[in-house]
Amino acid sequence: MLVFLIATSLALQSVADTSPFRALPLPAPGRIRSASGAPGPDYWQQRVDYVIRATLDTSSQTIRGSERIHYVNHSPDTLAFLWVQIEQNLFAPNSITYALSQPPLHFAGGAVFDFTGKGFTGGITIERFMAGGQALKRTEYGTMTRVELPRPLPPRGVIDCDVAWHFPIPPYGGGRMGRIGTRLYEIGQWYPRLVVYDDVHGWNPLPYIGAGEFYLEYGDFDVTLTLPAGFLVAATGTVANPLAMWTAEQRARLTRARVSVEPVQIVTKAEATAHGAQRFPGTKTWHLTARQVRDVAWAASPDFRWDASSWHGVLIQTFYRPSATPWEEANRMAWFTIKHFSETWGMYPWPQATTVEGLVEGMEYPMLTFVPSIDKREDQYWVLTHEFGHEWFPMIVGSDERRYPWMDEGFNTFIDYGSAEGYFKGTAYGDTVRRELLGAARISAVPGNEQPLIDKPVEQRDLAWAAYQKPALMLTVLRDAVLGKETFERALREYVRRWKFKHPQPADFFRTIADVSGRDLDWFWRDWVYTTARLDQAVDSLGSAGDTTLVYLSNRGQMVLPLTLELKFADGATESRGYPIEMWNLGSRFTARVATPRRVVGVVVDPKGIYPDIDRANNRWPR
Q: Which residues bind Zn ion (CB under 5 A)?
A: 409
Q: In this complex, which beta carbon is closest to Zn ion, that of residue 195 or of residue 464?
A: 464
CB of 207 to Zn ion, least distance (A): 20
Give backbone dihedrals phi and psi of 487, rounded to 5 degrees, phi first: -65, -45
Q: In this complex, which beta carbon is closest to Zn ion, that of residue 365 or of residue 621?
A: 365
Beta carbons of 451 and 461 less than 8 angstroms apart: yes
Q: In this complex, which beta carbon is closest to Zn ion, that of residue 304 or of residue 468?
A: 468
CB of 317 to Zn ion, least distance (A): 20
Cβ partners under 8 Å of residue 575, min gap 6: 566, 567, 569
Beta carbons of 155 and 333 less than 8 angstroms apart: no
Beta carbons of 529 and 378 less than 8 angstroms apart: no
Four-residue CA torsion sign, 85, 91, 95, 96: positive
CB of 369 to Zn ion, least distance (A): 10
Report the relative pairing of strands 368-371 and 264-267 from DSSP bridges. unpaired
Q: Is 34 helix (H, G, I), strand (E, B) or coil?
A: coil
Q: In this complex, which beta carbon is closest to Zn ion, that of residue 214 or of residue 424?
A: 214
Q: Which residue of this chain has its Cβ atom nearest to Zn ion in the complex?
A: 409
What are the beta bridge partners of residue 146? 83, 139
CB of 409 to Zn ion, least distance (A): 5
Q: In this complex, which beta carbon is closest to Zn ion, that of residue 254 or of residue 356?
A: 356
Would you give the DSSP letter of residue 619? Answer: G
Pick from 283, 300, 163: which is nearest to 226 by CA? 283
Rounded Cα distance between 281 and 245, Å, is 15
CB of 472 to Zn ion, least distance (A): 11
Integer CA distances (angstroms), 299 to 176, 180, 224, 365, 536, in order: 12, 11, 13, 11, 49
Q: In this complex, which beta carbon is closest to Zn ion, that of residue 369 or of residue 555?
A: 369
Q: In this complex, which beta carbon is closest to Zn ion, that of residue 303 or of residue 409?
A: 409
CB of 341 to Zn ion, least distance (A): 14
Measured at the alpha carbon of residue 280, what is the angle toward residues 274 and 282, in degrees to the nearest 5? Answer: 160
Neighbour tally for 395: CB within 10 Å = 26
Q: In this complex, which beta carbon is closest to Zn ion, that of residue 264 or of residue 384?
A: 384
Give backbone dihedrals phi and psi of 591, rounded to 5 degrees, phi first: -105, 115
CB of 412 to Zn ion, least distance (A): 6
Beta carbons of 420 and 378 less than 8 angstroms apart: yes
CB of 372 to Zn ion, least distance (A): 13
